[in-house]
Amino acid sequence: MQDTMKNRVFNLIPPAMIVLVLIFWSFGPAALLDNPWTLPVVSPLITLVVLLLEQVHERHPGWRMNRREFFTDLFYVVLSATVISWLTQHLAEDPLTAAKAWLGINTEWAMHLPWLVQVALVIFVFEFGQYWMHRLMHNSYPLWLTHAPHHHITQLNAAKGAVGNPIELFLISLSVIALFDLEKTAIFAAFNTLGVIATFAHANVRSDPPRWYSFFFTTIRHHSLHHSTDYESTRCNYGNSLILLDRIFGTYRDGEASVVGQDDRRRLSIWEQTMFPFQPIVDAMKARRAKAGYSAETHVSSRSEHDNVPADPAPGSAGGTATA
Ligand SMILES: [Zn+2]
Ligand SMILES: [Zn+2]
């Protein structure tokens, strides 16, 4: 790749955006930092900025945004920001906060840590959980069924981090951060920092951040390899944002992929992604019904040919895609 000025500038954009996020949450006007709408606005704004950068310095033409991908991605970005985030708050965060109070767990010490250390603590705790959840998803069949749709995406872009089965989206949003007494701004700064890293790790932007960045943080090179078409190459680089964890736990692999998507790159619709974990059960029921229909037919020979339901599950259905 030509080391042009444009490349050099783009390589520095991810770390520069992290610095901007940290400056905003530490020195921003109090009116904005206290406003409950600031986080829900800044998070999609990061995605939007990176989507615009894709228009300026594209990585692969094959990943170029089109109408179909745009509306699919938009659906998942909105789903994550509304339904999934509501479920996380009410089914996980609130009960955890209540349990913390009931058990008398005191973590006031965390509040007295320097602000940047609090940000780092949130990043580490959140990513540690994400890493093991993601790794488990690749090694447990029921969990794999929820994660497989994310590996069926056939192109990467800044919004693709939000695309997946809703159960998976809920599971990877879980964390134990609610157990820690921390500055709100430090938590939000950490979330937006993770947002910047994970967004660039899925983005179609020709940006390869400096070595010191990619030592700690996941880049598109690491994550595109995780989205490879061949099964063996997907079994590495589980860190959504903190690739350091893969280095520590022995799952790091160097490399990059430009063609992504598993199972012969079969693109799934929103409905197929939603139904994916239940597909083995649906297929089994269909097969049983077909078998019952077949035995009934042997008795009633007047039935027409096209009433027959195929007994085999559809090719490429969940039953045949177990890569875990
Ligand atoms: Zn994965
Ligand atoms: Zn991904």
**Ligand 2 midpoint to CA 228 (Å):** 10
Q: Are residues 297 and 259 in the same domain?
A: no
**Ligand 1 midpoint to CA 253 (Å):** 14
Q: Which residues pair with 58 in a beta bridge?
A: 205
**Ligand 1 midpoint to CA 84 (Å):** 19
Helix (H) or strand (E) holding 217: none
Q: 299 is in which domain, residue-wise? A: 284-320
Q: Are residues 116 and 23 in the same domain?
A: yes
Q: Are residues 96 and 33 in the same domain?
A: yes
Rg over alpha carbons for the chain, rounded to the nearest Å, is: 22
Question: Residue 280 in contact with residue 318, Cβ under 8 Å?
Answer: yes
Per-residue pLDDT at 278: 93
**Ligand 2 midpoint to CA 158 (Å):** 10
**Ligand 1 midpoint to CA 239 (Å):** 9
**Ligand 1 midpoint to CA 151 (Å):** 6
Give the per-residue SS3 of 78-142. HHHHHHHHHHHHHHHHHHHHHHHHHHCCCCHHHHCCCHHHHHHHHHHHHHHHHHHHHHHHCCCHH
Structure tokens belonging to residue 137: 């998803």
Q: Are residues 314 and 181 in the same domain?
A: no
Per-residue pLDDT at 200: 98
Q: Are residues 174 and 311 in the same domain?
A: no
Q: Are residues 246 and 293 in the same domain?
A: no
Closest-approaching ligand to the CA atom of 137 = 1
Residues present in the chain in total: 324
Number of domains in the chain: 2
> Which residue bears the tokens 């339901």?
309
Q: Are residues 120 and 137 in the same domain?
A: yes
Q: Are residues 233 and 256 in the same domain?
A: yes
Q: Are residues 257 and 290 in the same domain?
A: no
**Ligand 1 midpoint to CA 16 (Å):** 27
Q: Are residues 170 and 57 in the same domain?
A: yes
Structure tokens belonging to residue 184: 């709100």
- Coil, strand or helix at 319: helix
Closest-approaching ligand to the CA atom of 240 = 2
Closest-approaching ligand to the CA atom of 156 = 2
Per-residue pLDDT at 303: 47
**Ligand 1 midpoint to CA 80 (Å):** 18
Q: Are residues 64 and 93 in the same domain?
A: yes
Per-residue pLDDT at 322: 37
Q: Which of 275, 292, 311 is the last residue of a domain?
A: 275
**Ligand 2 midpoint to CA 292 (Å):** 41
Identity of the amino acid at 193 = T
Q: Are residues 60 and 85 in the same domain?
A: yes
**Ligand 1 midpoint to CA 148 (Å):** 7
- Coil, strand or helix at 67: helix
Of the candidates 49, 65, 66, 63, the one whose C-alpha atom is nearest the C-alpha of residue 10 is 49
**Ligand 1 midpoint to CA 159 (Å):** 16
Rounded CA-CA distance 302/69 in Å is 47
Closest-approaching ligand to the CA atom of 238 = 1
Rounded CA-CA distance 49/313 in Å is 42
Q: What is the mean pLDDT of each run of 10 residues along the chain (324 residues)?
A: 82 98 96 93 95 96 94 94 94 95 92 96 97 96 95 95 95 94 96 97 96 98 94 93 98 94 88 91 89 69 45 39 37
